[in-house]
Every structure is written in C-alpha cells, then in structure tokens.
Amino acid sequence: MTGWILHVDMDQFVAAVEILRRPELRGRPVVVGGAGDPTARRQVVSTASYEARAFGVHSGMPLRRAAQLCPEAVFLPTDPAAYSEASQRVMAVLRRFPVDVEVWGWDEAFAGGDITDPQALAAEMKAAVFAETGLSCAIGIGENKQQAKIAARFAKPGGIHTLTTATWMAVMGERPAADLWGIGPKTARKLDELGLHTVAQLAATPVDALVERFGPRQAAWLPVAAAGGGDTAISTEPWVARSRSKENTYAEDLSELAEISREVGAMARALTAEVVADGREITHVAVKVRYVSFFTPTREMKLRAGPTTDPEVVEQAAVSLLTKFEWRRPVRLLGVRVNLAMPTE
C-alpha cells in the first residue's frame, strides 16, 4: 500500500514554544493563559505543560484553580504571534518532504501521497522538525485521516503509532463512541440515549436507525466513521479560516440586558471590521453566553440576505439572538462568532 496518511500533532505546542524561549523552565510545570496572572479573576488556561497536567491542570480551567492545584507552576501570558511564527517554521519543514501537506491550525497537519514506508517517513519527519525547530511532535499513521488522527493520540507524547482498517476494531471497538474524531458532546449524548455507547455498537447500526435523530447526512457518516472509514484527500491549498470569534470573561457579572446587548453589539462590529479588512464576508452569526452556573448555551442564525460586510447587519443579527436566551441568571462570559464565506463560494 502506498496511499498512507500521516497526522503530525505537536506536543504541548504553546507551552513548548514558551519553554524554547525560556530554557530554564524545561522540566517545570508551565501554564499559559490570559495575561499570565493567576490572581486575576476569570482568566483561563490556554495550555499547560505535561508537568502541570500531572497536577490536573488542563485547558479551559480558571487560572486561579490551576494555581491551587499546582502552586509551583510558572504562569505566562499568551503570545499568539510567537505561536504563529513557530507553526510556520514547522510546516515549512514538513513541506520539504515528498508529500502533500494539509495544515490544520498552529499545531497539526496531515501529510499524504505515494508513501511506501510510513514508519520511516514519520521518523524522518519527527527528527527534522525537532532538529530545525526544537519542538517535539507525535505522528499517527493510517489509511485515512481519521485513522491517522486517532493514531496520533496513541503516539503522544513524541511517538509514532499506526492504526489501520485491519486493526481498527480491535483497538477502537470497545472504546466510547465519543472517542471518534468529529463526535462532540451533543452527538455523544444522543448516541447514549439510543444505547449506542461504543464504537463497535455504532458501526453495527443501520443508517435507517439513525436518520430520525441525526438527519440523513450525519446518519450516513456515523457508522462509516465508527467502522474506521474517513477522508483520504489531502488539500495543499493554504489554510483559510472558516470562522472568527471574540469573547470576554467579565470581572463583574452582567445582569442588565441593555449592557449585555451593548457588549454583544460591540463584539459583532469589531469582528466585522476584522473580517472586512481581510477581504472576507460573513454568512452566519452565533452568540455564546456563559451564566454564573457555567452553563454555556450558544445560539446561531444564518443571515437571510446572504453574505455581508455590513457591521450594522451583523450587529443586529447578534443582538437579535439574545432573545433566544433566558436571563434569570447573571452572566460571566459573552462571545460572538461569525462564519465566513469561503473564497470560492
């Protein structure tokens, strides 16, 4: 077989970039998030080094809680520009190999092509990335993207793992269906309600039994994914963002709808300005609300008049979505996301 797919997944990428800049932190628990101040209210962890994770620190956790779990951790502010530059160097290394490379954000990429010895290629890639950037990666090998993506999980940190159609069910069959790439919490809950708890159970389920709950497209995809199927196409087109978002966690809870509306409107207008500056158009608007209870619903709508660059249209759409939430509890976080028309659309 020559049509292998490799998934390159950087190890603790953001923390690793910070440690490269501060070699004295190697081996110490490092937490990156917000302004890097664990005493500040309502700032959250972006990423944590493996040493910090051993104490239970994880992404999305409040910095204050991280400091409680790991008082000896070093807390650092986020620096997106540094992470983007490091990512570009990693991807440049991968592109020197005789494969097609599809970038998936800062810290991961798929590679595919006429590959006769994927293990050897993976080892060469790992060594080259480390030699030229000082960063470690795990590489998953599979016959399609899903197999490679999940194989990379088994390879972390810093290893190589292969998962194929022949070995898929032995490895994945008894695992939770939620372990499949692309199944989020909502889909996992629906599957649990149907009694489909494991990958093997989902793989054996007829599509007709899923259509009513998931719709025809997702119902057709779920059993295929559970059986180890997946996409094999590698796109070398430059990565193009499909959405953009802003959110803010407030030092003081918000209770007045007028103030919430002003905050959401301002975020919508700011997002629109950024999108227009990049020559993109907006197709959908979504609003996220996190109450003091940490319940975090999201509401979304498609712009009826089609793609737009008008900040007033986007603001009105975002504010109108607020009518779809309940306002019986104070709010600690607000967010706005816009989906973007792809350049070919």
- How far, in Å, CA of 100 to CA of 255, rounded? 51
CB 303 within 8 A of CB 285: yes
The residues carrying an active-site annotation are 108
Query: Which of 115, 111, 110 is CA-nearest to residue 2?
Result: 115
- How far, in Å, CA of 268 to CA of 262, rounded? 10
254: its two tokens:
């918000």
| Inter-residue long-range contacts of 160-168, CB under 8 Å, 24+ positions, other chains counted | 160/119, 160/122, 160/123, 160/126, 162/118, 162/119, 163/228, 165/228, 168/227, 168/228
Place of tokens 């972006």: 46
Residue 31 neighbours by CB under 8 Å, 6+ apart: 15, 38, 45, 47, 48, 49, 52, 57, 63, 66, 70, 73, 74, 75, 76
CB 234 within 8 A of CB 113: yes
Residue 157 preceded by cis peptide, ω within 30: yes
CA angle, residues 66, 70, 71, in degrees to nearest 5: 105
